[in-house]
Structure formats: structure tokens, C-alpha cells
Structure 1
């Protein structure tokens, strides 16, 4: 197994542990989950801080991959944004460790470097979505009287609250049906009605 693949496998194992508890992310536990000895893990991550950096990179890669796939599967910017939200919902459902990680004091606490790293990931994700919204405004599909950033926050608002309930219910609540209904309201709110009427 090459180094990058092994690093990703280790980060995936840490993310699985995060679904149970952030405190479960230790070098020993992650090594055990990967079925390797801790000394082998140290070849890829020197300490727990670096494992959290690997988690940050893993989450970033999954978010960017979702944006790439959403753009490939749809043609109109509005459809891409809706697809992105559904993919985001599926990601949070498949990896419950992500919301646990994002709301953990291990991320939002005193470690400013760790917090800034995860904030940079979310900022990049929002900018990517905002550029899609801007394209929708340029083509006339999305209302031009609202800021692209506001479109993105409305989009995230369709996903985050139901996903938070999923997190609070410890997986008993499936957020995806509610998110699909929310997206209908999102589309109604941001779609350029003049285009709809003309077509």
C-alpha cells in the first residue's frame, strides 16, 4: 500500500472512531482499527495532532469530490447546488463522525491552528458553492437581487439543521427526506421567477 493510500486509510479509521467519540481518537485506537501496530502508524502520522490534520484533509477531499461530482451530473447551476446539498447530506449520514468532529471542542476549543484549518476547509467549500450560485445568476436562473454567499447559506440551511438532529439522535433520525423537502423551498426562494414565467 503506497503512503498516500495508507494515510487516507488511517484518517478513515480515525473518522470511524469519531462517530463514537472524539476522545476515542488516540494513536493506539487508530492503529488497532487499521490492524497495524502504533509504531507503523508513526511512519505516517507523528502524533495525534497530525491525525487531526489528516482528518481535516480527508473531510476537505470528500467535500471537494462532492462538488466535482455534482457539477458533472447536472448541467444547470441550480441543479448542481441541489445535487451538492443532497451529496452533502449523504456524506454526513454516511460519516456521522464529521458533525461530531466539527462541533467538538477538540476543533473549536483553544487549539487555534486546528480550528483555523477546519475553518479554511469550510471557507473553501462555501466559495466553491458561491461560484456556482454566481454562474446561476449570470445565466439568469438564480435571482440576482441576493448575494451568492447568501444563496450558499440558504443552501446549507437546508442541510445543517436536519443533520444536527441526526447527530443529536445518535443516528436514529434520518435527515435526508426532510432535506429533500427543504430543497424544494430553497429552489422556490432563489429561482428567478421571470425566467420561469418566460419559459
Structure 2
């Protein structure tokens, strides 16, 4: 079973599908992508291989679902903040802090989703990862431009550069957290970092 790649038609994961994805994340983070096999996932979950195939037809389908799920969560938080009529800067804040929260809930994401080279072994997956990153950056850049037009965000720096500051600081802190063995409070330090970054973004 493959996840639909159209975000408007995203199919919610079942409990078992999420368990399979989490087991795959753990295997990649602890043993490397080369050890991601249906056999190893089944062993980690103490279920049979056919039980895995009832939900995903290959390990690539599992990784596909992981990317779709992560993408959907990111898009959803931006949509929710828009529905609540938040300002552009508040919507960027919601996106950033949600990222820290999601990674804290599933620590292995720090070593998989924020280490893009893991997807380079498959051209289709690497292309999908790149497209997702571009989509997120486009949305944040648009919010920055909107904030500049409203006089909320400084306009003496280009939206592209400000966007890179947002994503660069986000990725660096998550990477450091993963490499440290999750030894500090990611959401708390993420909030502190965002508060300092927000001062730099404000006009």
C-alpha cells in the first residue's frame, strides 16, 4: 500500500502503519539505511513479514509514507494558523515550534528527516525530499514577504536570506540535539532560539 502523494488527498496513517514507520526510523537511525529491510522491521515489531506487506508493499513505500506524513503535518500547522488569522510572524513561529515538538515526540526524526543524504540512495525519494523542502521554504518565504509588506518584518534583508536564517537555525539545533543523544530539552531551547531570531526578524 502506498501513501497518496497529493497532500490534498493525504490518507491518515493507521496505528499499525505508524508503528511500522517508527520502527523503520529507529532502524535507520541506529543501524543505517542499509539495514532497513522488511525482515528487520518485522523482527523489531515482533510480527511477521506478511503483516508488514498488508500495509506497505516495500520499504520504499514506508519511506514514502514517512515523507508524506511529515509534509502533511508541516502544511497542516500553517493552514491551522492561517485559519486562526494569525500574523505572518506568528504563523512562522507556529511552524518552527511545531517542528521542535514533532521531533521531540519522535527523536529518530532528527537523524533521518534532518539528514537528507539518507535519501540519496533512491532518486525518486531524494526528489520527493527536495520538493518537500522547496514547498516548505516557498511557504515561509511568502509569509516573510507578507510580513514585510505589512511592516511586521524587516525589509532591509531579502526574504530568501531571512528564510535561510529560519530554516538554518532550525535544522542546526535539531541536528545538534540528535548528535548529543537527546541530552537537552529541544522544545525549550528551540523556543529560546526562536525568541532571539524573532527579534532579528522584527522591523
Query: Superposition pairs for residues 153-192 of structure 1, below 5 Å?
Result: 153-192=164-203
Return the match for 1:144 from 145, 151, 155. Answer: 155
Q: 1:94 — aligned with what?
A: 105
1:159 is paired with a residue whose SS is helix
Q: 1:112 — aligned with what?
A: 123
Q: Residues 96-152 of structure 1, C-alpha deviation per residue, up to 9 Å, x if partnerless?
A: 2223113264313x4222211111111111112122222212211112232222222
- Are 1:129 and 2:140 counterparts? yes
Which of 1 and 2 has greater Rg?
A: 1
Query: Superposition pairs for residues 31-46 of structure 1, below 5 Å?
Result: 31-33=42-44, 36-46=47-57
Whether the 8 Å contact between 1:77 and 1:133 is mirrored in structure 2 is yes
Return the match for 1:11 from 2, 16, 21. Answer: 21
Q: Aligned Cα RMSD in Å?
A: 2.7
1:14 is paired with a residue whose SS is helix
Residue 168 of structure 1 deviates from its aligned partner by 0.6
Whether the 8 Å contact between 1:27 and 1:48 is mirrored in structure 2 is yes
TM-score (ref. length: structure 2): 0.78
Residue 11 of structure 1 deviates from its aligned partner by 2.6
Whether the 8 Å contact between 2:74 and 2:95 is mirrored in structure 1 is no
TM-score (ref. length: structure 1): 0.79
Q: Which moved more, 1:124-133 or 1:98-107?
A: 98-107
- Are 1:20 and 2:59 counterparts? no
Structure 2 CA distance for partners of 1:130 and 1:98, relative to 1, 3 Å:
same
Structure 2 CA distance for partners of 1:71 and 1:3, relative to 1, 3 Å:
closer
Residue 78 of structure 1 deviates from its aligned partner by 0.9
Aligned length: 190
